[in-house]
Structure 1
């Protein structure tokens, strides 16, 4: 009887062992893992800001009809004629006569060059002289009836205005408040060619496209992501614009940050206030799901499967560059240069380590 009982116990033990081994194999085969790869990550935040530029407005000195000489956003030089005001309605008729005179001068000049008859040439030359005199008189009449608008500096020309050009200036950058940013609206009016304009009204705006800023208000917690001189990217209308943190001004629970736009050709000349994203950190590194992370002996790490032995090993995470609610990002390239003893490219980690899968051989 004792032998029979011992046999049963032995058989039961073998059965339990086999079940245990089969269970381990099953667990190892069904444990989800992740092979680490280098990924690009952009830490962003959304905010709202006021755009401030170096710009000046040119007002009309006369009543009349405006004639614009450039397109919106064109680059212009200093002392360039960007518009003219026709003070007299006769100016259009004079312009037409000047154009006709130019055509006649062109035809007479051609006739002289093609003629072999000296008498005919002399007649045509007299005609040419008279026509040039006629044109000169017409141009003098036009000059009296026209006021010309010139630039005082080079830059980009705009014919749109929001009447905030004197409020938001480079000298007043630090005075912009959270209330200004929240209440400001885009409200630009545009001057068009052949429209009537009165003395004192704006005609054109010249913008220094090398000098523009974006002023935003963020919370104290958000401000921890920024330091003076830091390079960032501003995403505006799906375009990434290079910028840097020029100034950080603390005001109670809010922080006003002044970003200097370092792109030389950013076409945001008819926008005063806008919502945008700030990319304050860009990382190329290893992206670790937080579901994989455990703390052992006060060290934050993951369980890595040894490629040769298939045993699991706890490895501390080093070179943590950024954390959010779901992932931890390691600076792979810096770790590689520093030869840090931490996880590496293509390491296979256990996604959800537990008491069993982190202590078994992953067959």
Structure 2
């Protein structure tokens, strides 16, 4: 006999039907499990992404708003040139500060020295020759002997004439004796011909020795400043004469021809040998485009300039702003630190136009939501939340946002923002908040593991 089962609703079910029903239920359960798994996967996906998103802690800080450009250094430079050929000898060190009338160097005229030395040697030989002749009485020896005899004879005649009372004869002999004595003095004595020649030679030798001693040109400082032995050939181009009228069309980088003058170098007449740079005032000229921060560089304003190669930040004054058809020339004036740049001409600089202070966050953190600037933070429960911010300054990496500290005491931590045309006070970020570095990768309401 065939068996029949009756289900709860009274249907008679065969064995095959029961098997089919169990299969359907199994498929239904598998389908439900798959749906749940898909749901959970989708639910966990944003959590997984946010878990790996980087955050930073909000801190107080400051940023500099910069304009990076190339500049030209203008200085008051006086170039000194050689007035003769010779070897240069320096008395001062490179970069040393000097006053007026200081001996900086000498050019030893070697060609003149050679000629003077030859003349001096010839005269010394002549002096030696004449001196030896006087000592040995080789000259005029016969004349001297004859003169001696004549003088002796005149003296004897003079005695006899005096004894005889022949005074006419006495007078005549005295005159003759005087002539003989004068001749003796000329031949051999202080005023002799040889002595006269020697006196002339001695005088000539003295003059030559003085000329030899002075056969060098001395170079004294005619202005105060720093001594430099580096000449770049641009001293006359980038001088202070037309600085205030310098315009953008004149701004160009001219190739320099740097000439280093070393001690004991042979130099030619007319060649530059050193320069003295006035260290009281010096200037930096830059060219900025019309879309730069030129509106914040008014004449008389003080700003900081960072010289990139030397990593030096120096305070300078905006001396002059000249407008041109393709931009602006800004001239900065400095009154110190030239000793670090006195041999520089072209420099890469950053002009620090403004410095902003407040809460500092990465620029990549800031997003716009409904037209409002803000950042996403991770609250204490791990939920991502959006907080509005008011940017007061930014550079290429960071933004500085308002702390809300200027709002009255009851609303501290709030900022004013425009929502639907109305100014409203809303809470902004505060110090120690965790801000997501990449604000575009997160959404409000996401949960963090």
TM normalised by structure 1 equals 0.68
Return the alpha-carbon distance in structure 2 between the equivalents of residues 92 and 27 of structure 1. 98
Preserved contact between residue 74 and residue 285 of structure 2 (Cα < 8 Å):
yes
Q: Which residue of 2 aligns with 1:264?
A: 337
1:244-303 CA distances to partner (integer Å, 9 max, x unpaired)? Answer: 33322110121111123454244333333x25131425566523343x433334321122
Offset, 1:75: 2.0
Q: Which residue of 1 aligns with 2:263?
A: 193
Q: Which residue of 2 aligns with 1:313?
A: 385
- Within a 5 Å distance, the mapping from 1:71-150 to structure 2 comes to 71-87=93-109, 88-89=112-113, 144-150=214-220
SS at match of 1:221: coil
Q: Which residue of 2 aligns with 1:330?
A: 400
Return the alpha-carbon distance in structure 1 between the equivalents of residues 384 and 116 of structure 2. 88
1:167-217 CA distances to partner (integer Å, 9 max, x unpaired)? Answer: 322231133344543341221223333334444443321112342212121
Preserved contact between residue 55 and residue 207 of structure 1 (Cα < 8 Å):
yes
Offset, 1:51: 1.4
Offset, 1:84: 1.5
1:83-140 CA distances to partner (integer Å, 9 max, x unpaired)? Answer: 11224426999xxxxxxxxxxxxxxxxxxxxxxxxxxxxxxxxxxxxxxxxxx99996
Offset, 1:219: 1.1
TM normalised by structure 2 equals 0.57
SS at match of 1:89: helix
Q: Select 2:49's aligned residue among 15, 24, 30.
A: 30
Offset, 1:221: 1.0
More helix as a share of residues: 2
Q: Which residue of 2 aligns with 1:158?
A: 228
Shifted more, 139-148 versus 201-210: the winner is 139-148
Pairwise CA RMSD: 4.1
Offset, 1:53: 0.5
SS at match of 1:335: coil
Return the alpha-carbon distance in structure 2 between the equivalents of residues 54 and 299 of structure 1. 53
Preserved contact between residue 374 and residue 386 of structure 2 (Cα < 8 Å):
yes
Question: How many residue pairs are counted as aligned between the two chains?
Answer: 310
Preserved contact between residue 307 and residue 347 of structure 2 (Cα < 8 Å):
no
Return the alpha-carbon distance in structure 2 between the equivalents of residues 190 and 16 of structure 1. 83
> Could you say which structure has the larger radius of gyration?
2
SS at match of 1:206: strand
Return closer, same or farther for 1:73/1:211 CA change in 2, 3 Å cut-off: same
Q: Gapped runs of 5+ residues in structure 1?
A: 3-7, 94-135
